[in-house]
């Protein structure tokens, strides 16, 4: 439709009218369920949001608060200081000191190639190893733990972003190689791995404390939160070891191994009065504070873990039992014939033949035939009980890891030839510590006392094996064996009377014996009338032309005895006279 507006100049304006009812889009009716669905969905959404808000802020609020706190509240461990290990006089054998540990936040780490190479060099690693560590975790990585203060000072001077340090405890071992097999060592987490460190882990480690703090984004502590729990430091452990005796014994066995081109060696020193172990030294050894090149050969505590056939060191026990039972006297003759004895088709031989020897001379000359003839007068059970009472075949009651039992077969299975060979130390096995302990029967007037690695004022009750007069008689025999005409004159010590027994035995290889491999040892005591120390020495596979115990082990015994008695302030029992030193040799080598 159109209309002409009055007052116009003749121009007509056409106005177009729109009929909305004719639009196909607007003309269609929306179904009621669609609008209701839309309203329902909006309502459900608001209900879910309300429920989630109620769950987070009312129902499970503790959990979410804890999760929030984890982002900025941290519990710092306050490590306890590990207990010290001390010798009998309070000298430090192991202690803990503060040491810096270097760590990094890899995502914050920034360094040019030159600085990164210098960092790797300072931390003792290759550049590839450093890169690998930095790629392990973007938030935290250890670069090197328990470094020296000088190392951290040099690292800090590089001024590298993302590199930090924290103070930890590091173990120090002042006696180094000399006491390594006694003290042992710990891992980087201050957990005992060997020796006393392992045996007394619980007592030494203490109990860590804790402290809650608030940290910022960069890991800096900005405030304390909550109550602090103080750490409880570990307990100190005092040993029976005398650091000076230990060091001297280690030096002497080290030198003997080098001189005789031997495979290894060990020394055990026991205080007769208390049963305390004053020294337990082995070579090869290792530095417990630097174990980068540690091998199993260095790690073995041979004096406790290695067993071997004790050879002629067993002969004095046979003589003592024969004296104890009244079968013989010290001067009773023993027919040794031409230095050989056949038992069950096997022949026992002496290195040197003697038609007749007294019981004392059997020990002095170390006659295999004489020892076998004495032993064969005993029932097997009696001989087995003797060895068992002396501690053979039993694990030493020593609070120390690695102590072994040795081997002593039941007497019912013995053949006559086996009983005969066991009289001079073949057919059974023992550790050097077990042999040293057995000799307390002579030093303590017939009583075997338990040995201990810890200081004690008096020994615990022992086992009576011989009468006092029997032990005293055997001590005189041992003095003869270590003197002129015996197998161990090189054991003589200036100012002190000594007695002991040398031993040399072929080493077992498989089911037989190696013809050119030996173990050499010497076990004895001093002074003779009132023994104060027992010293046992073993040298494994000497290969420089000498292998008899009287030549290889006896000189070590002499040096260790003299130094130990002086350190213990034991008065000399022999007059010290000026002497012309000559090259002494055994009158006769001990028999095999």
Confidence (pLDDT) at 591:
58
Confidence (pLDDT) at 253:
97
8 Å CB contact between 159 and 181: no
Confidence (pLDDT) at 216:
66
Q: Over 60: is that where the pLDDT of 388 sits?
A: yes
Q: Over 60: is that where the pLDDT of 282 sits?
A: yes
Residue partners of 119: CB distance under 8 A and separation at least 6: 111, 130, 143, 155, 158, 160, 163
Residue 312 annotated among the catalytic residues of the structure:
yes
To 10 degrees, what angle do helices 554-567 and 243-259 make?
Answer: 160
For 454-483, what is the mean pLDDT? Answer: 92
In the chain, pLDDT over 70 holds for what percent of residues?
87
In the chain, pLDDT over 90 holds for what percent of residues?
52
Q: Over 60: is that where the pLDDT of 581 sits?
A: no
Of residues 508 and 234, more confidence is placed in 234
Interatomic CA distance for residues 43 and 37, integer angstroms: 10
Nearest residue to 480 (alpha-carbon basis) of 370, 361, 588, 372: 361
8 Å CB contact between 290 and 298: no
Residue partners of 31: CB distance under 8 A and separation at least 6: none
Interatomic CA distance for residues 461 and 448, integer angstroms: 9
Find where tokens 């003997």 sit.
256
Mean pLDDT taken over the chain: 86
Interatomic CA distance for residues 349 and 421, integer angstroms: 11
pTM greater than the 0.85 cutoff: no
Using CA atoms, how far residue 382 sits from 42, 144, 578, in Å, is 100, 62, 48
8 Å CB contact between 539 and 561: no
Catalytic residue among 312, 367, 431, 520: 312
Confidence (pLDDT) at 16:
54
Q: Over 80: is that where the pLDDT of 381 sits?
A: yes
Least confident of 90-94, 357-361, 450-454, 507-511: 507-511
Of residues 582 and 451, more confidence is placed in 451
Find where tokens 């191994």 sit.
257
Interatomic CA distance for residues 267 and 241, integer angstroms: 13
Q: Over 80: is that where the pLDDT of 404 sits?
A: yes
Of residues 445 and 456, more confidence is placed in 445
Tens-digit pLDDT profile for residues 106-118: 888 888 888 888 8
Of residues 427 and 31, more confidence is placed in 427
8 Å CB contact between 89 and 175: no
């Amino acid at each position: 439709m159109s209309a002409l507006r009055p007052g116009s100049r003749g121009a007509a304006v056409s106005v177009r009218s729109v009929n909305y009812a004719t639009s196909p889009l607007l003309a269609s009716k929306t179904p009621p369920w669609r609008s209701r669905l839309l309203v329902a969905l909006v309502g459900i959404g608001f209900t879910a949001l309300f429920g989630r808000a109620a769950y987070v802020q009312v129902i499970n609020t503790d959990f979410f608060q804890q999760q929030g706190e984890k982002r900025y509240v941290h519990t710092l461990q306050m490590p306890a200081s590990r207990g010290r290990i001390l010798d009998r006089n309070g000298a430090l054998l192991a202690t803990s000191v503060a040491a810096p540990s270097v760590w990094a936040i890899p995502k914050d780490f920034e360094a040019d190639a030159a600085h990164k190479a210098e960092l790797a060099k300072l931390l003792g690693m290759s550049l590839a190893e450093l890169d690998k560590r930095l790629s392990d975790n973007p938030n935290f990585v250890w670069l090197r733990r328990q470094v020296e203060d000088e190392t951290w000072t040099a690292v800090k001077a590089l001024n590298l972003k993302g590199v930090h340090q924290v103070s930890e405890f590091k173990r120090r071992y002042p006696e180094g190689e000399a006491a390594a097999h006694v003290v042992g060592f710990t891992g980087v987490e201050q957990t005992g791995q060997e020796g006393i460190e392992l045996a007394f882990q619980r007592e030494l480690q203490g109990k860590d404390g804790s402290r809650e703090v608030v940290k910022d984004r960069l890991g800096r502590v900005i405030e304390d939160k909550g109550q602090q729990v103080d750490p409880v430091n570990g307990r100190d452990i005092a040993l029976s070891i005398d650091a000076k005796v230990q060091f001297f014994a280690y030096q002497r066995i080290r030198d003997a191994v080098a001189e005789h081109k031997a495979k290894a060696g060990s020394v055990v020193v026991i205080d007769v009065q208390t049963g305390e172990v004053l020294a337990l030294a082995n070579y090869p050894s290792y530095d417990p504070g630097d174990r980068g090149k540690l091998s199993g050969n260095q790690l073995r505590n041979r004096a406790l873990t290695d067993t071997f056939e004790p050879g002629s060191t067993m002969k004095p026990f046979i003589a003592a039992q024969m004296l104890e039972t009244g079968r013989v006297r010290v001067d009773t003759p023993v027919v040794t014939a031409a230095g050989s004895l056949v038992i069950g088709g096997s022949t026992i031989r002496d290195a040197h033949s003697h038609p007749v020897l007294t019981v004392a001379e059997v020990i002095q000359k170390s006659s295999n035939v004489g020892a076998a003839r004495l032993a064969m007068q005993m029932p097997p059970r009696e001989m087995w009980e003797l060895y068992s009472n002396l501690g053979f075949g039993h694990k030493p009651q020593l609070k120390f890891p690695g102590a072994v039992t040795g081997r002593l077969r039941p007497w019912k299975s013995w053949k006559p030839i086996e009983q005969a060979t066991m009289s001079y130390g073949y057919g059974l096995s023992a550790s050097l510590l077990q042999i040293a302990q057995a000799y307390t029967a002579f030093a303590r007037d017939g009583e075997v006392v338990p040995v201990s690695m810890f200081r004690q004022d008096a020994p615990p009750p022992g086992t009576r094996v011989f009468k006092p007069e029997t032990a005293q008689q055997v001590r005189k025999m041992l003095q003869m064996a270590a003197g002129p005409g015996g197998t161990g004159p090189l054991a003589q010590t200036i100012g002190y009377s000594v007695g002991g027994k040398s031993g040399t035995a072929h080493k077992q290889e498989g089911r037989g014996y190696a013809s050119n491999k030996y173990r050499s040892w010497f076990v004895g005591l001093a002074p003779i009338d009132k023994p104060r120390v027992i010293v046992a020495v073993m040298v494994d596979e000497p290969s420089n032309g000498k292998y008899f115990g009287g030549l290889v082990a006896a000189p070590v015994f002499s040096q260790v005895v003299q130094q130990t008695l002086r350190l213990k302030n034991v008065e000399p029992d022999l007059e010290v006279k000026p002497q012309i030193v000559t090259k002494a040799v055994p009158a006769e080598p001990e028999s095999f």
